[in-house]
């Protein structure tokens, strides 16, 4: 087996100081890098003062532009090809997550995955196939790839929150309903939010929804 790629990316320590009690992994979209999402920390620190954040750079150069990174290629958008790309990147991301959890001395119940666009595809694929259930998966403007395979492959069922723009011209808003149906069919608890007037992006209300959900997922009794 080829050696796994070691991911790197920007990190933020807990706003409250001291050791982290939670870990939030932010997975960026196609053609971006980890710096694209690390700015969410400034909005979510009040919700999650004891959380450490890390936004790894995807492992591969974006193959449709001279800049940016990708988790897998989208030159061929066939489902089988995308699933193959997800299978390739899964052990790379899992190795990174395991290393970060160990570094912070945390377990899966203290882990959340957050994705945007292609990062959401990765977060859903990886989060539902890890051996132990993480606290939650939050996905913005993405999609569930290979819903027909999920029931046979799912290993854990963290609650999922999906937020999507109603006028998204990159990943059509119809993907929100398809993802919700596929997740529910696999026994996953899912909440979805369709944001009126929003294109392919994250708006202030989406940020608030995500932060509030993360706080609740990490502290369900609060």
| Residues catalogued as catalytic | 117, 168, 200
Integer Rg of the chain from CA: 16
Closest by CA to 144, choosing from 112, 193, 183, is: 183
Q: Which two tokens stand for residue 21?
A: 């009690």
Strands (E) in the chain, as ranges, are: 11-12, 22-27, 51-54, 60-61, 69-70, 111-116, 136-140, 160-165, 190-195
Give the contacts of 13 (CB within 8 A, at least 6 positions apart).
20, 52
The Cα 119–Cα 1 span in angstroms is 25
Q: In what order do the strands lie in the sheet with 51-54?
A: 11-12, 51-54, 22-27, 111-116, 136-140, 160-165, 190-195
User: For the chain, how are helix, strand and coil distributed in percent, rounded to 5?
Assistant: 35, 20, 45
Q: Residue 24 and residue 137: Cα distance in Å, rounded?
A: 10
Which residue matches tokens 């990062």?
119
């Amino acid at each position: 087996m080829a050696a796994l790629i070691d991911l790197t990316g920007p990190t933020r320590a807990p706003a409250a100081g001291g050791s982290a009690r939670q870990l939030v992994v932010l997975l960026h979209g196609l053609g971006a890098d980890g710096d694209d999402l690390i700015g969410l920390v400034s909005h979510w620190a009040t919700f999650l003062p004891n959380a450490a954040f890390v936004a790894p750079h995807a492992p591969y150069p974006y193959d449709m532009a001279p800049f940016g990174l990708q988790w897998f290629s989208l030159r061929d958008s066939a489902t089988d090809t995308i699933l193959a790309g997800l299978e390739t990147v899964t052990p790379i991301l899992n190795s990174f997550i395991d290393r970060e959890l160990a570094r912070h001395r945390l377990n899966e119940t203290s882990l959340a995955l957050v994705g945007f666009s292609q990062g959401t595809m990765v977060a859903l694929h990886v989060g539902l196939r890890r051996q132990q259930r993480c606290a939650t998966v939050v996905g913005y403007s993405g999609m569930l790839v290979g819903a027909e395979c999920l029931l046979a492959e799912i290993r854990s069922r963290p609650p999922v929150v999906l937020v999507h723009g109603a006028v998204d011209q990159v990943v059509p808003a119809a993907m929100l309903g398809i993802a919700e149906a596929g997740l529910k069919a696999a026994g996953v608890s899912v909440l979805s939010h369709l944001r009126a007037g929003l294109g392919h992006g994250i708006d202030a209300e989406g940020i608030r929804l995500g932060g509030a959900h993360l706080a609740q997922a990490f502290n369900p009794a609060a």
